[in-house]
Chains A and B, each alone.
Chain A
Amino acid sequence: MDHNHKNGTVTRKINKTIIYIVCIFLAVLSILPFWIMFVNATRSTAEIQSGLSLLPSTHMMSNLRVLLDKSFDPIQGFLNSFIISSSATILTVYFSSLAAYGLVTYDWKLRKPFFTFILCVMMIPSQASAIGFYQFMYKIHWTNSFLPLILPAIAAPAVVFFMRQYLLATLSIEIVEAARVDGSGEFKTFNRIILPLMMPAVATQAIFAFVANWNNLFMPLILLTQKEKYTMPVMVSLLRGDIYKTEFGSIYMGLALTALPLFVVYFLLSRYIIAGVALGGVKE
C-alpha cells in the first residue's frame, strides 16, 4: 500500500513536470512572435537580414523615419480607430442594455417573439450582407464616412442576449417598483438606477465591443478609400504593399505601432478580459 502510494506520487511529479514544460512552451510560443516584432522594430534592415536576435538594437528612430516618410500616419489611424471604436462601443452597450431591460422588466405581447428573433439573428456574419450594405451606403454617399461603421452598433444581438442573462440573474423587480412609487419615470429609472447596477456586465461587454471594433478589417476596407480616413487595421494592409518591400525594419515598426495600444489595454485589463471570456462561454 505504502509502496503504491509512493509510486503514484513519483509519477504525478513526472506528469506535473511535463505539464509545466508544455505550458511554458506554449507561453513562449505566444510571446516570441511579438517579441521578435518589437525587437526587429529597433533593428536596421541589414541587421534583420543577417539573422535572428532577441536583443534590441539602436535603429528605432531611423525605422520610424522611413515608415513615416511613406505616408504611413499611425497617429491619424489611431485617432480614426479610436473615434469609431469608442462611439460604436457606447452605442452598443447603452442600447443593448436598454433592450435587455425592456425584455426582462416589461410584459409585452411580442416579448417572446423578440427574444427568439434575437437568437435567430445573433450569428449572421457581416460578410453576408456586405454587398447590399456597400451599395446602400454608396447611394446615400456615406462611403468614406465613419457613420456606417458606428451606427450599426446600436443593434448588437449577442450583447443583448448577454445583458438579458445578466439581468435575469441580478435584477429584482422590487427595485423598479420602489422607484415607481417614488415617482421616477421609466427612462429615469433605467438611466439612474438600473444602468449603474449593470456596470459589471457593461464594462465586460464594453471591452469586447471596443476590441472587436478596433480590430475590424472587412467593413472599413470596403467603405474607406481615402487615406486620411483609414483605421489601424486598414493601415496594416499598407505595410504589405510594394512601397515597403525591402524595408523590413520599418515594416516591423509599423506592425509594432498598430499592436502597441492593444498590448497596453490587454495588460491593464487582462484580469477582466479573461473573466469576461469565461463568462461569455457559460451560456447555460
Chain B
Amino acid sequence: MRRKGVNYSKFGYIFTFPFVLAFLIFSLYPILYTAVIGFTDMQGLIPKPIHIMDNPFQNFKDLLFDNVSFRKSLINTGLLWIVNFIPQIVLALLLTAWFTNKRLNIKGQGAFKVLLYMPNIITAGTIAVLFSTLFAYPMGPINSIFEMLGWSDAPIFFLQDKTTARGIVAFIQFWMWYGNTMIILVAGVMGINPALFESAAIDGANGFQTFFRITLPSLRTILLFTLITSMIGGLTMFDIPQLFLAGGPDDSTLTTSMFIYGQAFKGSYMYNRAAAASMIMFVIAAILSGLVFYLMRDRDAGRMKKAEKNYKKSAKAAAVREV
C-alpha cells in the first residue's frame, strides 16, 4: 500500500490553472484596466500614455451629475427592464400553474414549450431588425393588420413615438424570455416533494390555495435567482435597442450599454467617460451578484457545519451528564 502516500492535491491546481490564467488575462486585467481608464483623460483615436486626472473622480462626477444622456440611459434601462419583467413573470407563473396542475392535465405541453421558447434561441439582433421592419411606416405588416382589423384609420408611425418605441422594445424582451422563465419554473415545481401536494389535496385545498400556499413558497429560491439573473441581463441590455432604433426616438430607448458603446466606438473616442460608465455598471452588477452569491452559497457545507456543531454540543452535553 505504498500508493497511499501519493499526494494528488497538486492536480487540483493544475486542472484549474487554464481557467485561472484565462480569467486573469481576459477578465481581471481588462476590468482593472477599465477602472484605471475611468480615472484618466484618455480620449481620441491615437493612444496616449496613461495620465490620471488631477481630480480622479471627475469622469464619475460628470456622468452622475451633469450628463443628461447617461442619466436618461440609466432610467431607460430600468424602465425597459421593469416593463418587460413584470408581465414576463406573471405570464410564466400562470403558465406554470396551468402546466403543473394534474387535475387540468394540459395536453401538448412539450410542443407548447418548444414553440414558446423558440424566440429565445434566435439572434436578438435579427429579431430587433425584424421588428423594426414589421412596424414600418406607412406600410408594414403591423400597420396592415391594424387596418384589416379596423383598429386604426391612418397608418401609425410606431417608431417615432417614444411610448410605442419603448413599448415595442420591452415587448420584444418579454416575448423572448417568458418561455425560458416558464420552463425554469415548471422544472422547479417538478422538484417539489409530491407528498406536499398530496397532503394538500387530502386536506381539500383547491387549485388557488395549493398554488399560493405550497407552489409559490417552494419556488422562492428559483424565483429570486430568476429575478437577479434577469436584472443583470436587463442592466446590460444592448442588442435589441441598438439594432431596433439605435436609441431613438430622442434617446428614449438608449440603454447604459449603448451609452458606453456610443461614447467609445461611434466616432467620439471618449474612452475615459465610457470606462467610468462601465465601472458604474459594474458596481450595480456586483451588488446584484452579491445577492446571487448569498442565495447560492454552498448550502450543503453550511448544513454539514451546523450538524457538526450540533453533534459536538450534544457530545458535550452527554459528557456533562456523565460527570
Q: Secondary structure of the B side of the interface?
A: helix
The answer to whether residues A236 and B125 also contact, given A129-B30, A218-B238 and a CB cut-off of 8 A, is: yes
Q: Are A281 and B222 in contact (CB under 8 A)?
A: yes
B63 within 8 A of A: no
Whole-angstrom distance between the Cβ of B60 and the nearest chain A Cβ: 14
Q: Are B242 and A119 in contact (CB under 8 A)?
A: no
B208 within 8 A of A: no
Residues from chain A with a CB closer than 8 A to the CB of B235 are 125
Q: Are A123 and B260 in contact (CB under 8 A)?
A: no
Among B110, B175, B265, residue most surrounded by chain A Cβ atoms (within 10 Å): B265
Tell me the B1-57 residues at the A interface (CB within 8 Å). Answer: 3, 8-16, 18-23, 26-27, 29-37, 47
Q: Are B26 and A248 in contact (CB under 8 A)?
A: no
Task: Return the chain B residue nearest A158 by Cβ.
Answer: B229
Q: Are A123 and B26 in contact (CB under 8 A)?
A: no
Task: Return the chain B residue nearest A180 by Cβ.
Answer: B3
Among A127, A157, A277, the residue within 8 A (CB) of B257 is A127
Q: How far is the CA of A16 from the CA of B292 in the complex (A)?
A: 37
Among B16, B123, B145, B292, the residue within 8 A (CB) of A232 is B123
Q: Are A128 and B184 in contact (CB under 8 A)?
A: no
Task: Return the chain A residue nearest B123 by Cβ.
Answer: A215
Whole-angstrom distance between the Cβ of A211 and the nearest chain B Cβ: 6
**What 0/1 pattern do residues 96 to 137 of A give for CB contact below 8 A with B?**
101101110111111110110001111111111111111110
Among B9, B27, B110, B125, the residue within 8 A (CB) of A121 is B27
B214 within 8 A of A: no
**What 0/1 pattern do residues 274 to 288 of B give for CB contact below 8 A with A?**
110011011001101
Q: Are B106 and A19 in contact (CB under 8 A)?
A: yes
Whole-angstrom distance between the Cβ of B179 and the nearest chain A Cβ: 8
A27 within 8 A of B: yes
Q: How far is the CA of A105 from the CA of B14 in the complex (A)?
A: 12
A-B contact pairs, 9 of them (CB 8 A): A33-B131, A52-B145, A120-B293, A127-B236, A132-B36, A148-B26, A233-B125, A240-B246, A278-B184
Q: What 3 A-B pairs come out closest when comparing CB atoms?
A: A102-B15, A281-B184, A132-B33
